[in-house]
Amino acid sequence: MLSPETKKKIQLVLALGIVLAAARTAYIFYQRHEDYVAEEKQKQAQNAGYSDPDLYVNPKKLYPFDLQSAKQLTQQPAWVREGYHYAYYPYDPASKRVDFKHETGLLGPIEELHITDVITAMPPGVGEQKQVMAVFEKDGRDYAVPIGTESDGEYKIYSDYIFFIQNPRDLYRHWSANVWQAIEQHQVKPGMNELQASFAVGMGVPDPGGDSEEKTVRYANGGKPLVVVFHDGKAAEITAGTPGS
């Protein structure tokens, strides 16, 4: 027969489980509501006659809320949304250890990954907060890239903002063949918009004080920096930058 103290502990554990389940369900409904709002805004923009087809693209999301749900990333390829932003590290599948001391590089623009596992790993010097890591193979070796954090059983996973899980060529099939050719060659060409430029050369940092009419964006471009001036949202001036600028 269970003692009153044991019964109380069981009740507390069950109550905590119910609270966590409710929080996760609420989070999923919130994210889906946000997607619904985004879709409605796209429909309103389309009905209002806005001509930019990019506004109508609504990439699919997975809404991962823990390690198991994040493993959905292994069920299809993933494409990096913002190149030269996310560092990845060597991974030993035998010991399931990430070598955080030796950063291998940065994921490239629209780089296609085939994620094989999602794990947690403890980086040095960060207390009790673990990193949620997506494991993938590249050039015959295994690597891992951070996609979130875990602390005391609570997960924050950002993979929906790091990866596309649909081929960007399908999502943006309205872009011309010339634009996609420039993207594949990692080049910014006159007339490309900011999104197209980021697909080609990765993350850009805008200069302060820009506006919709004229905006200067600096791209590290994997060690080959570029400076692009956009006029009315289109690349107009493209020049080589200097490292660290």
Give the three-state DSSP class for 131.
Answer: strand
* Residue 79, domain extent: 67-164
Q: What percent of the chain has pLDDT over 90?
A: 71
Q: What percent of the chain has pLDDT over 70?
A: 78
111 within some domain: yes
- pLDDT at position 17: 52
Which pair of tokens denotes residue 164? 């596309």
62 within some domain: no
Q: Comparing 152 with 168, which gets the higher pLDDT?
A: 168
Query: In terms of domains, do 32 and 76 share one?
Result: no
Q: Give 75's DSSP letter.
A: G
Q: Where are the alpha helices (DSSP H) in the chain?
A: 4-47, 67-70, 159-162, 168-171, 177-184, 194-201
202 within some domain: yes
Mean pLDDT of the residues in the chain? 86
245 within some domain: no
Which pair of tokens denotes residue 166? 């649909």
61 within some domain: no
Residues comprising the chain, all counted: 245
Question: Residue 31 CB: number of other CB atoms within 10 A?
Answer: 15
- pLDDT at position 245: 56
| Of 31, 56, 81, the domain-final residue | 56
151 within some domain: yes
Contact 119, 135 (CB under 8 A): yes
Closest of 241, 217, 203 to residue 110, by C-alpha: 203
The answer, yes or no, to whether residue 190 has pLDDT greater than 50, is yes
193 within some domain: yes
Query: In terms of domains, do 49 and 95 share one?
Result: no
- pLDDT at position 162: 98
- What residues contact residue 156 under an 8 Å CB cut-off, 6+ apart? 148, 149, 150
pLDDT (mean) for 210-230: 93
The identity of residue 20, as a single letter, is L
| Of 16, 35, 56, the domain-final residue | 56
In total, how many domains does the chain have? 3
Query: In terms of domains, do 76 and 160 share one?
Result: yes
Query: 140: domain CATH number?
Result: 2.30.30
